[in-house]
Amino acid sequence: MTPPTEGYDELFGTAEASAQLRNRAAASGLIVVAGRAIQLGLRLISIAVLARLLTPEDFGVRALVLPLIVLTNAVINLRLNVAALQQEHLDAEGLTRVFRISTRFNLLIVVLVAALGPFLGKIYDDSRVAAVTAVWAGAIYILNLGAFHEALLKRQMRFGVTTIIETIAMMIGMIVAVLAASLGAGYWALVMEISAIGIGRSIGAWMVCPWRPDRHTGRDRDARVSEMVRFGRNLTGFQVVSWIGGQTDRVLVGLFGAPVLGLYDGARRWGWLPSVELDNALTDVAVSSFSRAHERPPAFRRLVRGGISALLILALPVTTFIFVETEGSVRLLFGDQWLGAIPFMRIMCFGAFFAALQRPTNWIFKATGRTRRQFRWGLFQTAVILAALLTGSIWGAMGIAAGYAAAHTLLAFPTIWFCVRGSPINLRDYLTAALRPAVAACIAGLAAVGAIRALGDLGMPAQMTVEFAVFGVIYILAWVALPGGRVAARDGWSLVRELARGAGARLRGTAPPTEASVTGD
């Protein structure tokens, strides 16, 4: 039986709980920001420590399996957990039905993936791949047992709670990996880290979220469930198509061996880290908030502009600084054994800069329910990326990297244009929010180049510190000086103060039943 429904109104997002949801969204804002900052710090520490305890080849073994795992993540749950987050109205019975559908599907998928491990090992002529694939597939299954519980917590706007769960799970995973690597576990340390994070997140979600699937034995489909399945099917189709374009480069570079793939994958992972981490941090908040406002164009436009700025205001300058000071970043964070990744990383940072500009389009597609349109665009994107990769492969692994970056650079603005057509936001709104941090980052990058030439060799830590300080000051000044910068800065500061007041009031138990909401109304 489904547990008593006390508290389920806010759990499933009914109108009676709207005031509580709005207050909770404001109160959890600072927790999310702080939690994501801690997570980013933990990830950087983990990378820096493991990069010194392990070899590029160890990371390469993981990267050999990664394309198949990314495909698994693309289809897992049939994306029905995302559909549950996107739905404006949801009940316990409908959620039980989609949970049952996804759980059966997930079991089939992970068994199939584990069975493909030996075949993948033969392709790469690496016997280590089969066992890593099987263990990693099991970790994915465990993680996704809690996917719907996480979706319900996010529907409640309890992003602070989910952030805390993720942060604790990440800390456990990092400790497990570092201990395992110190004891000589090699590439298994990386697999153990992933498994520990998945188990921790799933257990945490089940402990915090009161919903439990019913033992309902009736039919799995009704009109609303069918609608969610269609949404998830289209999104899954887009994810699969995106996988072809997003993982073919790893497959091709993997043919050169695990050591080369380790350097390439490390460069790609680190070059894209700022935008990927911030995107992961903001996606659920953005989709949940945008979904509830997409029928009110003024509120939707305000939300989207704010979301774009929130993503790019940090992602673009960090990516730009890494591009400018690639060698120093690699030496300082990862050690001399990774110097072979420097050329790859410069190329990847260039592509990541332009790819970051179009990342918010995924939020818009999902929030407005236009996953079919997103799928069609994904087919075109993939064709362009594959053409660029095949062309670049003529020049080996470096050519593949250049082709991957070039494709994302060329696709950035067409993707934005295609997404905003027919949506509540127009192209001018999108570009206005995106170009300010982009231009400011480029100006700061030029200033950092000048600082590098003027300073000479001060020693690695001191030189990086001065360069970063120059870059940061110029970026802030340029961002504020550009048209609309002062207004945007004032609005951002007002939002921070509002979130601080909401968090403080909630901690004191005095948060008033205000109608101020995340939609900006």
Compute the distance between CA of residue 237 and CA of residue 247 in angstroms, rounded to an integer: 15
Q: Of 353, 361, 388, whose CA–CA distance to 377 is shortest?
A: 361
Residue 144 has pLDDT above 90, yes or no: no
Residues 132, 403, 342, CA angle at the centre, nearest 5°?
A: 70
**To the nearest whole percent, how much of the chain has pLDDT over 90?**
30
Q: What is the DSSP string of 251-283?
A: HHHHTT-HHHHHHHHHHHHHHHHHHHHHHHHHH
Type of residue numbered 177: A
| The two three-digit tokens of residue 219, written as one number | 């039919």
Per-residue confidence band for 505, with pLDDT thresholds at 50, 70 and 90: very low
Identify the pLDDT of residue 512: 35
Contact 301, 425 (CB under 8 A): yes
Count the residues in the chain. 521
Contact 140, 69 (CB under 8 A): yes
- Identify the DSSP state of 131: H
- Identify the DSSP state of 519: T
Which residue has 């945007």 as its token pair?
A: 488
Identify the pLDDT of residue 418: 94
Per-residue confidence band for 180, with pLDDT thresholds at 50, 70 and 90: very high
Compute the distance between CA of residue 27 and CA of residue 125 in angstroms, rounded to an integer: 52
Q: Of 77, 68, 167, 75, whose CA–CA distance to 124 is shortest?
A: 68
Q: Of 93, 193, 213, whose CA–CA distance to 146 is shortest?
A: 213
Q: What is the DSSP string of 34-100?
A: HHHHHHHHHHHHHHHHHHHHS-HHHHHHHHHHHHHHHHHHHHGGGGHHHHHHH-SS--HHHHHHHHH
Compute the distance between CA of residue 97 and CA of residue 218 in angstroms, rounded to an integer: 9
Q: Of 72, 67, 92, whose CA–CA distance to 148 is shortest?
A: 92
Identify the pLDDT of residue 106: 87
Identify the pLDDT of residue 350: 95
Compute the distance between CA of residue 52 and CA of residue 338 in angstroms, rounded to an integer: 9
Higher pLDDT, 271 or 17: 271
Give 83's Cβ-side CA count (13 Å radius): 26
- Furthest-apart CA pair in the chain: how many Å? 73
Residue 310 has pLDDT above 50, yes or no: yes
* pLDDT per residue as tens digits for the range 341-381: 999 999 999 999 999 999 999 888 888 878 788 888 988 99
- Per-residue pLDDT, averaged over 297-310, amounts to 83
Residue 476 has pLDDT above 60, yes or no: yes
Identify the pLDDT of residue 6: 40
- 10 Å CB burial of residue 183 (0-12, 13-18, 19+) is exposed
* pLDDT per residue as tens digits for the range 20-62: 544 454 445 556 667 777 887 888 888 889 999 999 999 999 9
Identify the pLDDT of residue 313: 87
Identify the pLDDT of residue 4: 38
Helix (H, G, I), strand (E, B) or coil at 54: coil
Type of residue numbered 85: L
Compute the distance between CA of residue 488 and CA of residue 267 in angstroms, rounded to an integer: 33
Per-residue confidence band for 5, with pLDDT thresholds at 50, 70 and 90: very low
- Global confidence as pTM: 0.74
Q: Of 338, 345, 313, whose CA–CA distance to 438 is shortest?
A: 313
Element at 224 (helix H, strand E) = helix 223-254
| The two three-digit tokens of residue 300, written as one number | 């939707």
- Per-residue pLDDT, averaged over 504-513, amounts to 39
Identify the pLDDT of residue 416: 95
* pLDDT per residue as tens digits for the range 398-436: 999 999 999 999 999 999 999 999 888 889 989 988 988
Mean pLDDT of the chain: 80
Which region among 90-99, 142-151, 416-425 has the lowest average model confidence (pLDDT)? 90-99
Higher pLDDT, 289 or 186: 186
- Identify the DSSP state of 3: P
Identify the pLDDT of residue 317: 93
Q: Provide the angle, in degrees to the nearest 10, between the axes of the packed helices 371-392 and 360-367.
A: 150
- Identify the DSSP state of 2: P
Identify the pLDDT of residue 507: 38
Residues 468, 474, 477, CA angle at the centre, nearest 5°?
A: 140
Identify the pLDDT of residue 457: 67
Contact 431, 302 (CB under 8 A): no
**To the nearest whole percent, how much of the chain has pLDDT over 70?**
81
Identify the pLDDT of residue 490: 63
Compute the distance between CA of residue 417 and CA of residue 427 in angstroms, rounded to an integer: 6
